[in-house]
Structure formats: structure tokens, C-alpha cells
């Protein structure tokens, strides 16, 4: 029990640092665009991160647990894999804490994958690393920011062309609200709702097909968002046919701030679903070995309480240390308004949720930075702060080798003493 308590504390330590660093990605643009305050961001992100981790976090956790290190080479030495996963937790926690103190939004997925590869190589040679799986994950890391940038740029172009640059932007916004609501709900609903509904008990609405039920929920949500948006637009008590002026621009941005907040909620859920695996996959592997004396091979079932533990750690870290990295993402790359922040966060949520549905451990910071840059290129490419991007890019690049070396060194020490 003491040993299990120790490794659980290590996993919570990693989750806390992950929350302090990576969770900032979900709310950074909302705080940067002044759509919400920092305290509101911490509360909202905490709830949605926890929900995403518990409801949608199993796939990525299972991938990290069994797809990086070759389990066949550890069948006869399960304790070696156990020590390796302890080394992964320690090395990732240390590096994420260092990065957070420097206000750098690094990729926790890089750290975990690099750490697993590092100890595996030292333990059983290069064949212990499943290079094909590592190649797939690495390719996803490259595609993530590019895809997110393209989606964000395209979506912001639509908002810019059909709402912001029109002669009567308020009237345009009123007409576009149903479509914005539908796009927002679709990003979450198409990817997440079917999986969540599929987990409902068979006695719940047995005569209704699960996908139809999910579509119905999504449709009602889109309708509700539209009606609330129309009501709040009417409450502004301005002429919807007003020609573009500073007042109409302010009203449009104020209305879009509410859409941005909803998109930030999607990002928080997406981040919890993907990055919780970085903290709990090693823990789940350790617990499996400790209880069965064998190595997980084809699959690994993640217990619900382990997902909850990871979610609690993420929320705790966000509340204590998250504000520094939020400032870097939200204000350090380019100045954002709610309209541009909405586009960036919606693109990020779509990219990460798609990756989570396929069990790919990608980087939320990659996706959001790519989205912010994509929006910046549409707004004014000269306003993109390259010095901030260089610092972020350097942190991304050094994370893998640092985590690999740290993990290999810590594993070597643990194996020597135990």
C-alpha cells in the first residue's frame, strides 16, 4: 500500500505540473482577448478538464501505456518496466515544473513519449522502442499545428469577410449566429457525443439509436445557443442596420466573446481527454504489473479512479501555478480579440478531439500555437511576435531529448539500487 501511495503521489505530481503548464492552452486566448478573467478561466477549465479526462481519456492513456515500449521484451522482467515507468513519472514531472517556472508552454506528450523511449532503450536496447508507433505519433505532432493553423485561418476568414468587414456587421452577426452555433456544437458533438452516449446503460432510451440520440442533443444545444445569442444581441438595444463604427464593432466582439468562451470549454475538455494520459498511463501500467505480476500487452483497461486521480491533479496544478503560462499563450504571440480567439480555440478543439478519438497523444500547445499563428497570418502577419514563437519552438525541440536523457539517467539509478 505504501508503494501504491508513492506512485499515485508521483502521478499527481506530474498531473499538477501538466495542469500548470498545458491547461493554460485551453484558456490562454480567452484571457488574452479579455473574454473572461483569470479566475473565471481557472474555474471553467478545472471543471471541463476533469470531465474530459474522466469521460474521454482512456484511449490516449492506453496508447501511451502499451504502444511506445515493446511489451514483448519486458514479459520476463516486468519489474524492469515498472521501474521504467517510475522514471518516466519523475523525469516528466521535473521537466514540466522547470518549464512552468520559465513560463514556457511545452508539450507534455513530447516529455512522456521521450521518457518512455529513453528508459526502454537503456533497459533492453533500441529494439525495445516500437519505432513504427513512435513514427505515427511524431507525424501527428507535425500535422497538428499545421492542420490547426489552416482550420483557424479559414474559420477566421469567414468571420472577417462575412461579419466584421460588412457594412452592417450586427445584422450579419444575427444571420450568422445559427451557423456559428452549429459549427461550435458540431466540433464537440460529432467527435465526443457518440462515444459518451455509447457508455449510457442499455436501459436508457432503448428504442432510440445512440447516434440519433447524440444528434438530437447536439441539435438542441445549437438551437439553445442561437436563441440565447439572439436575445443578448437584442438586449444591446442598438439598431441592427447600423453602419460599421466603433460601437457596432464593440458589440460584435462582445457577442462573439460568448462564443469564444464556449469554444474554450471545448478546448479544456479536449485537453483533459488527451493529456491526462501523460500523467496516468505510467501509473496504470505500474498498478497492472503490481497486481498481476505480468506486463500489459494487447490492451490496458484504465480504472475510473485512476482517471479521476489524474483529473484532480490537473485541476490542482492549474489553480496553483497556471496563470503564468496563460499569459504567454494569450498575449505573447499576437493581440487577440474575441472573434480571432474564437477561431483559434475552435480549430484547436477540433484538432485535439480528432486525435483523442484515434488514441494519438498530440500536443495541445502545438495545436493552439498553430491556430493563433494561423489567425495572426490572416489578421496581420507582421504583428506576429517571432521572438515569442522562437522561445516556444525551442522549448518544444529540447523537451524530447531532455526528457529522454532524464528518464534514462533516473532509470539507471533506480535499477542500480533496486
Cα angle 286, 139, 154 (rounded to 5 degrees) comes to 120
Alpha-carbon 52 to chain mean position: 9
pLDDT number for residue 119: 93
CB 372 within 8 Å of CB 210: no
pLDDT above 90 (res 90):
yes
Q: Which residue has the cell 506576429?
A: 384
- Across the range 121-139, mean pLDDT stands at 86
Q: Which range (20-29, 135-144, 244-253) has the least confidence?
A: 20-29
* Listed residue (249, 250, 281, 333) closest to 115, CA to CA: 281
Q: What is the pLDDT of residue 46?
A: 76
Instruction: Name the range with the highest mean pLDDT among 61-65, 193-197, 251-255, 323-327.
Output: 251-255
314-321 mean pLDDT: 78
What 3-state class would DSSP assign to 303? coil
Report, as an integer, the average pLDDT of 213-239.
88
Question: Which segment, 14-23, 44-53, 210-219, 406-415, is predicted with the most confidence on average?
Answer: 406-415
CB atoms under 10 Å from CB of 76, counted, come to: 8
**Most confident region among 130-134, 254-258, 377-381, 406-410 by mean pLDDT:** 406-410
> DSSP code of 167?
S
Q: Is 294 left (phi over 0), alpha (psi -120 to 50) or beta?
A: beta
- Kindly report, residue by residue over 254-302, the tens digit of the pLDDT: 999 889 888 888 878 877 777 777 788 889 899 999 999 998 877 777 8
* φ, ψ for residue 69, nearest 5 deg: -85, 135
Contact between 157 and 378 (Cβ < 8 Å)? yes
Instruction: Average the pLDDT over each of 19-23, 66-70, 401-405 and give the range with the smallest value.
Output: 19-23
Q: Running DSSP on this structure, what letter comes out for residue 129?
A: B
Compute the average pLDDT of residues 174-184.
93
**Which candidate, 379, 347, 399, 395, places its Cα nearest to that of 144?**
347
Give me the mean pLDDT over the 98-113 stretch.
78
> What is the distance between the alpha carbons of residues 303 and 287, in angstroms, rounded to a whole number?
10
Residue 407: band (very low, low, confident or very high) from pLDDT cuts 50, 70, 90: very high
What pairs with residue 69 in β-bridges?
129
Is 69 strand, coil or helix?
strand
pLDDT at residue number 48: 83
Contact present, 167 and 204 (Cβ < 8 Å):
no
pLDDT higher than 60, residue 205: no
Instruction: Please check the confidence at residue 328 and state whether its pLDDT lies above 60.
Output: no
How is residue 147 written as a grid cell?
492542420
Would you state the pLDDT for residue 363? Answer: 76
Please list the alpha-helical segments (H only) found in 206-337. Answer: 210-235, 246-292, 304-321, 323-331
Most confident of 48-52, 250-254, 362-366: 250-254
Helix (H) or strand (E) holding 22: none
More confident residue, 276 or 6: 6
Q: What is the largest CA-CA distance in the chain?
A: 76
User: Nine-digit cell at 134?
Assistant: 513512435
> What pLDDT score was predicted for residue 388?
65
Residue 403 burial by Cβ neighbours in a 10 Å radius (0-12, 13-18, 19+): buried
pLDDT of residue 206: 55
Q: What is the pLDDT of residue 176?
A: 95
> What is residue 224's predicted lDDT score, i.e. its pLDDT?
95
Q: What is the mean pLDDT of residues 394-403?
A: 82
Task: State the average pLDDT over residues 69-84.
Answer: 89
β-strand partners of 129: 69
pLDDT single digits (tens) 11-41: 999 888 887 776 666 666 677 667 777 777 7
Query: What's residue 89's pLDDT?
Result: 93
Q: Is a pLDDT exceeding 80 seen at residue 320? A: no
* Cell numbers linked to 185: 456544437
Residue 23 CA: distances (Å) to CA of 16, 54, 111, 293, 409: 10, 15, 15, 35, 28
Amino acid at each position: 500500500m505504501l508503494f501504491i501511495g508513492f506512485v499515485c503521489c508521483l502521478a499527481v505530481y506530474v498531473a499538477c505540473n501538466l495542469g500548470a503548464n498545458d491547461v493554460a492552452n485551453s484558456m490562454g486566448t480567452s484571457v488574452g482577448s479579455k473574454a473572461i478573467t483569470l479566475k473565471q478561466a481557472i474555474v471553467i477549465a478545472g471543471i471541463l478538464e476533469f470531465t474530459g479526462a474522466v469521460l474521454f481519456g482512456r484511449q490516449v492513456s492506453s496508447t501511451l501505456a502499451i504502444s511506445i515500449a515493446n511489451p514483448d521484451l519486458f514479459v520476463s522482467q516486468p519489474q524492469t518496466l515498472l521501474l521504467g515507468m517510475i522514471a518516466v513519472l519523475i523525469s516528466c514531472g521535473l521537466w514540466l515544473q522547470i518549464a512552468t517556472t520559465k513560463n514556457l508552454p511545452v508539450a507534455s506528450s513530447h516529455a512522456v513519449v521521450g521518457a518512455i523511449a529513453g528508459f526502454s532503450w537503456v533497459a533492453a536496447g533500441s529494439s525495445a522502442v516500437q519505432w513504427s508507433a513512435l513514427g505515427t505519433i511524431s507525424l501527428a505532432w507535425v500535422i497538428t499545428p499545421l492542420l490547426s493553423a489552416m482550420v483557424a485561418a479559414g474559420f477566421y476568414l469567414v468571420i472577417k469577410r462575412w461579419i466584421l468587414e460588412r457594412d452592417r456587421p450586427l445584422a450579419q452577426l444575427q444571420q450568422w449566429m445559427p451557423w456559428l452555433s452549429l459549427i461550435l456544437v458540431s466540433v464537440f458533438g460529432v467527435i465526443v457525443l457518440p462515444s459518451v452516449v455509447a457508455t449510457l446503460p442499455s436501459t436508457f432510451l432503448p428504442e432510440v439509436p445512440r447516434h440519433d440520440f447524440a444528434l438530437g442533443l447536439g441539435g438542441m444545444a445549437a438551437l439553445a445557443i442561437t436563441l440565447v445569442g439572439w436575445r443578448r444581441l437584442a438586449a444591446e438595444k442598438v439598431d441592427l442596420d447600423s453602419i460599421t463604427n466603433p460601437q457596432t464593432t464593440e458589440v460584435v466582439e462582445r457577442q462573439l466573446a460568448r462564443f469564444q468562451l464556449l469554444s474554450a470549454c471545448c478546448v479544456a475538455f479536449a485537453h483533459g481527454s488527451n493529456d491526462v494520459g501523460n500523467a496516468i498511463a505510467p501509473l496504470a501500467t505500474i498498478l497492472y504489473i503490481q497486481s498481476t505480476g505480468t506486463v500489459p500487452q494487447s490492451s490496458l483497461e484504465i480504472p475510473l479512479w485512476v482517471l479521476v486521480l489524474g483529473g484532480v491533479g490537473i485541476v490542482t496544478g492549474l489553480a496553483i501555478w497556471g496563470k503564468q503560462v496563460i499569459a504567454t499563450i494569450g498575449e505573447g504571440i499576437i493581440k487577440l480579440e474575441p472573434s480571432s480567439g474564437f477561431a483559434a480555440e475552435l480549430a484547436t478543439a477540433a484538432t485535439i478531439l480528432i486525435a483523442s478519438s484515434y488514441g494519438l497523444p498530440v500536443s495541445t500547445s502545438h495545436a493552439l500555437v498553430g491556430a493563433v499563428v494561423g489567425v495572426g497570418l490572416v489578421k496581420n502577419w507582421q504583428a506576429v511576435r517571432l521572438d515569442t514563437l522562437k522561445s516556444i519552438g525551442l522549448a518544444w525541440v529540447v523537451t524530447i531529448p531532455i526528457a529522454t536523457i532524464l528518464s534514462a539517467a533516473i532509470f539507471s539509478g533506480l535499477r542500480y539500487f533496486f
